[in-house]
Amino acid sequence: MPYTSDLTHDYIPLTPVPKSQLDSLIKLSKPVVANWIKQSGFQAGEGEFCLISNEHGDLSEVLIGIPETGERRWALAGLPSKLPAKRYQLHCNWSEAEQTQALIGWGLGCYQFDHFIDKDKRSALIHLPQSMKTTVMAFYESLCTVRDLINMPANHMMPEHLSQELRTLATEYHARFSEVVGDELLQQNYPTIHAVGRASDHAPRLLSLHWGDPEHKKLILVGKGVCFDTGGLDLKPSSSMRQMKKDMGGAAHVLGLAKLIMSLKLPVSLEVLIPAVDNAVSGDAFRPGDVIVTRSGISVEIDNTDAEGRLVLCDALTQACEDEPDLILDFATLTGAARVALGTEVPVLFSNHDELARDIHQQSIKSEELIWQLPLYKPYFGGLKSTVADMMNATSGGYGGAITAALYLNEFVDDDIEWGHIDLMAFNIRDRPGRPIGGEAMGLFSVFDYLQSRYTE
């Protein structure tokens, strides 16, 4: 745990210093301290810090270089791994909201996926004021949950393990959990989820969680839970398969977002739907050219078994619409095309309601965690036309893949229900303060802030 609320200890001040204030700080410091700051080469650049000792040689203060303006979330995030394992306290005139973000960033800067490493290491702790504890811990725990789920190797995170994670979450927050498993999916009319997962020894399933006051507006979160994606019979090359443990990143996001919503008691009637499968290869694997009649009654010709995410999502989205929600949001590591369009760090947003997309995008700018809209450009739907079914699950061309995937999903969402589809990487490929290489929660600050503004006004 990177935080402490124990007030019986002395804390070392962490003092943020923008470049514009460095000279005045030096002038106000004792001569020996001023000389040390100059001699150390501290310029108050972003990410820089300076250790100050007292007359006994003990650490007495840490100066932190910060930008003049902008986000505070990552201001402290690079420090935990570099500072001595002592107790610290943020010392500044920032607003409580700014301090809250900085403390969340400190916690995320302490994150390591060390489940399979025997480690016994003391770490730096920061004081967490009681007034900020609920919010800081909710975000810290929720985002670490997302990271842990994505980072977990596939042999420890198959559909049954994902089921247990959601069951445990339901128990923690007194929510209702249920699942439809294996051939029950056919009996209860979830044919595409069954088709994608049937080849695996790990039975496919549809997981669900219900929480909140039924009198509140209903919010449904849908997450792609492909626990490993070989590509099916359209087998991926080994280089593309290497990180496919992360293909349940959408499920991890909705599980983490649900935890956040329940922790902070957002006034909604929450439903979570996670189609959880292992897209494996065996004699019973679904094939290119197969035709599956989906839960909605739309028949789909399989053009590519590696376009499996939209197949498991379409039955879940149909179920979501049957439950008549106020809003549906789905999260999915759906297409490489979205990464080509916006890179790995900016999630792509599609929506059947432009106002919803605009509001989420604007909130993402305020939350300093960008989400960017791409269009549901209907003329591209022609690429999904089939001669033997109502539509295909993928196009044969190599262009606009994120758009055609979203257009496919849009066919399973009622026009009068607001729906947002977020296509994301869920994985950092470069190391930044508080954001190590590996599984990552992307867009959750922005989406939660949007939901909070929507449902608490």
Amino acid at 276: A
Of the CA atoms within 13 Å of residue 320, those in its CB half-sphere come to 37
Of 255, 95, 275, which is closest to residue 179 (Cα–Cα)? 275
Is 310 an annotated catalytic residue? yes
Catalytic-labelled residue, pool 19, 133, 236, 432: 236
Residues in CB range of 44: below 8 A, 6 or more apart: 17, 18, 19, 21, 22, 63, 65, 66
Neighbour-count burial for 22-38, b at 16+ CB within 10 Å, e otherwise: beebbeebeeebeebbe
C-beta atoms surrounding 160 within 10 Å: 15
Q: Long-range contacts: 428-433, Cβ < 8 Å, 24+?
A: 428/344, 428/345, 429/344, 432/74, 433/47, 433/74, 433/77, 433/78, 433/105, 433/109
Residues in CB range of 124: below 8 A, 6 or more apart: 2, 79, 80, 83, 84, 85, 86, 87, 88, 110
Catalytic-labelled residue, pool 310, 339, 435, 454: 310
DSSP 8-state code for residue 281: -
Of 330, 337, 292, 356, which is closest to residue 410 (Cα–Cα)? 330
Q: Angle at which helices 130-151 and 96-109 pack, to 10 degrees?
A: 30
DSSP 8-state code for residue 283: T
Amino acid at 229: D
Of 169, 275, 185, 150, which is closest to residue 225 (Cα–Cα)? 275
DSSP 8-state code for residue 402: H
Quote the CA–CA distance of 166 and 73 in Å, as a whole number: 28
Q: Are 103 and 136 in contact (CB under 8 A)?
A: yes
Quote the CA–CA distance of 360 and 373 in Å, as a whole number: 9
Quote the CA–CA distance of 430 and 390 in Å, as a whole number: 42
Tokens of 416: 């009068």
Is 198 an annotated catalytic residue? no
> Phi/psi zone of residue 343: left (φ > 0), alpha (ψ -120 to 50 degrees), beta?
left
**Residues assigned a catalytic role:** 236, 310
